Amino acid sequence: MSLSDVTTRDTVTIPGPATPYQGDIARYWDHEARPVNLRLGDVDGLYHHHYGIGDVDHAALGEPGAPDREERLIAELHRLESAQTQVLLDHLGPVQRDDTLVDAGCGRGGSMVMAHQRFGCSVEGVTLSVKQADFANRRAKELGMEDSVRARVCNMLGMPFATGEAAASWNNESSMYVDLQDLFAEHSRILSVGGRYVTITGCWNPIYGQPSKWVSQINAHFECNIHSRREYLRAMADNRLVPQAVVDLTAETLPYWELRATSSLTTGIEEAFINSYKDGSFQYLLIAADRV
């Protein structure tokens, strides 16, 4: 039995998908089992559904034809994905042990585990997928973190948190599934005044004019709707979220994609990411904002 087949008793489902589209997305993630995600997660038990940043450690990859080359390459891709999470967590600001953090669109929970390991605080996640929430809760239990790390099946546009309850919240590659005005209104509601919101996301670049064919290909591949950079900044401004840092991570994510394209775990979407990052139509962005 694989971890993804395990149903824990603790997973709470708050019914149900608000729209037919959300039902599609719930089904998509309930059925997702790509080796590029599971084999990377198996390296150390942190399961991510986001991409990597940072320079490739070529020494760690060993010799090109060596028998353990693929294993090393998988470990290196995973290291870059975890490095991405650490950069997101770096931007949360000071976090106290009695704070509550919220991971909106938490996937299999890798970022939640890393946040708890780093800050010792409670981390609450929401995802549309029962399978993902079960998986995340199972991992939290295995790690003895079940009192502090919890995933629930819930729409991030109506989260089960009181007004002002969260010291910080984030979207790690999950904001392209929702309307940004609705999303930031909800983060603004759950965050305390002075709280911090962070997103890492792919967005289309207004300088290009419109979404390029590569961006459209990424949308079709994942059934998502990538927003423009301008839309992020506008929707934040409209919802009391004031950017403190806007970091273009495009150059830092390209090595991950170029390495991934040489692996046995390609999914066919590598060319679209590489070409759109290179032609300037698409950007990998971190935005950290204060709730004012």
Residues of this chain that interact with ligand GPP (CB under 6 A) are 34, 36-37, 49-50, 173, 176, 202, 218, 222, 224, 226, 267, 269
Residue nearest to Mg ion (CB): 37
Q: DSSP E strands: which ranges in the chain?
A: 12-13, 100-104, 122-127, 149-153, 166-172, 191-204, 241-248, 282-291
- In this structure, are residues 192 and 164 in contact, taking their beta carbons and an 8 Å threshold? yes
- Span 4-23, contacts to ligand SAM by CB under 6 A: 22
CA distances from 144 to 147, 149, 172 (A): 8, 9, 24
Nearest to 75 by CA among 42, 53, 48: 42
- Shortest distance in whole angstroms from residue 247 CB to ligand GPP: 15
Q: Which is nearer to ligand SAM, 49 or 291 (CB)?
A: 49
**Which one of 1-9, 120-128, 260-268, 279-287 is the stretch in contact with ligand SAM (CB under 6 A)?**
120-128
Residue number with CB closer to ligand GPP (95 or 203): 203
Residue nearest ligand GPP, Cβ-based: 202
Tokens of 65: 């034809």
**Least distance from C-beta 232 to ligand GPP, angstroms?**
13
Give the residue, chosen from 122, 148, 169, 174, that forms a contact with ligand SAM under the rule CB under 6 A: 174
Cα angle value 133/134/137 (rounded, 5°): 85
Sign of CA dihedral 46, 159, 157, 99: negative
- Tell me which of ligand SAM, Mg ion, ligand GPP, none is bound by residue 202, counting a contact when its beta carbon lies within the kind-specific cut-off of 5 to 8 angstroms: ligand GPP
